[in-house]
Structure 1
Amino acid sequence: MPRIALITGGNRGLGRATALALIEAGIEVIYTHRGDPGEKIDAIPLELTVGALETYDDFATELRRVLRDRFGREDFDFLVNNAGVGVHASIADTTVEAFDELLNVHFRGVFFLTQKLLPLIADGGRIVNLSTGLARFTGDGYAAYASMKGAIEVFTRYLAKEAAARGITANTVAPGPAATEFAGGMLRDNEQVREGLARVIALGRVGEPEEIAGVITAMLGTDTRWITGQRIEASGGMHL
């Protein structure tokens, strides 16, 4: 029976890197996108706006259809809540609209999408929620974003406790700076920014998407089945 992972926001950045890593590991991948599935890979794209909670019933119906028709299954094994948006603003400059967008995608969306999909996750499955290193250390302009991720870390601990009766684990992976499209690709393309960050990272450089994907993939593996309710930071030792 094939192992199946669902990744939200798998059309780019860390989500795409994770999809490719899981495919390489022999896992079937379904990923969500907001209208642009990205470069074609050996995975199944499904459209979903994570912040639009009113669409979750239809999404779950479509997911069930794909699981049944493509894989002959009624459930899947791994959920990676990765989809996100970035808002860079000081507390003084954060608008209600920007705050609500972050809330809907990073917290309300993760909470209620997980609630909707839990009945479809196989017993003994795995859930990984994406947090951020900014929930431990601070960075200018990320108070609202990091606060949502802090909420995700608390949610994950409660989720781990409630899901344990079914043998399902739940953990957070908290990336540090990584060279993706996030924040307009600044960490990927701006050498001045990269050099500045490297000075406060123990390993002396910004991370690569594949390195974060490797951690996520490891947390879905059988060797980590005894880990649950934990925060795993992959930041190269930033601000130690």
Structure 2
Amino acid sequence: MKRRLLMVSALLSFALAGCSSNSDSPQDNLQYSQIELMYQEAQEQLEIGNFSLAQERLNTLNTRYPFGPFAHQVQLDLIYVHYKLDNTDEALAAIDRFISLNPNHKDVDYALYMRGLVNQRAEHNTIQELAGVDRSDRDSSMAKEAFKDFAELLRKFPDSKYAADAKKRMVALKSRLAQKELAIAQYYMDRQAYLAAANRGRYVVENFAGMPEVENALAIMAESYDQLDLNELRDDALAVLRANYPNNSLVD
């Protein structure tokens, strides 16, 4: 729906541009009509979900008419198509190029939003998720990038129509990053590296306040300090755990 709104806005702009071009030469009008027809064909393919063919049409437009009346919208549509086709590198390159060349464009917020979506999608392993495999220990670098992208969007465009969804996605990404830290902490626990485990737990508590993962982080801290005979630190961790999660098994 959001992409469709952009498309409708673009088509209205193009229609107005076409009306204003009546005084141009017949050759100019013919070229404009050809570009408009090619763009409409690309949009038809987008609407029916034929992203590969849409990409082909849009690439042709982008190559032949890089400064034409449809140029910016073609670039934005290509970003969307790359995202739908899981072309991560191409999508990120197109986004960075668009923002760099058009820093004051009215749809820069959309480009930032799409960069977050691209990085978030790249972070997931579809096969593992479909199989129901918990891989919280997998690389989280793309999740971090996605979080930064959405944070940049909110900082620069707090009133953007994409802001609300970006906030929701940031919560999910923050949980994902906290789970990664917990997986590392548990790895250290399993190998009796209790000080390293406690430090990871403390990192979660300090950096992911309000997230459900904090409960397990406090439990890991309490158990680790107990193993290290650091009784005061253990009791502090248990006190925080008891105050915030009274039903935790370690509290009894």
Q: TM-score, normalised by structure 2?
A: 0.30
Q: Give the greater-gyration-radius structure (CA).
A: 2
Task: Kindly indicate which of the two structures has a greater share of residues assigned to strand.
Answer: 1
Q: TM-score, normalised by structure 1?
A: 0.31
Name the structure, 1 or 2, with higher relative contact order (CA <8 Å, separation 6+). 1
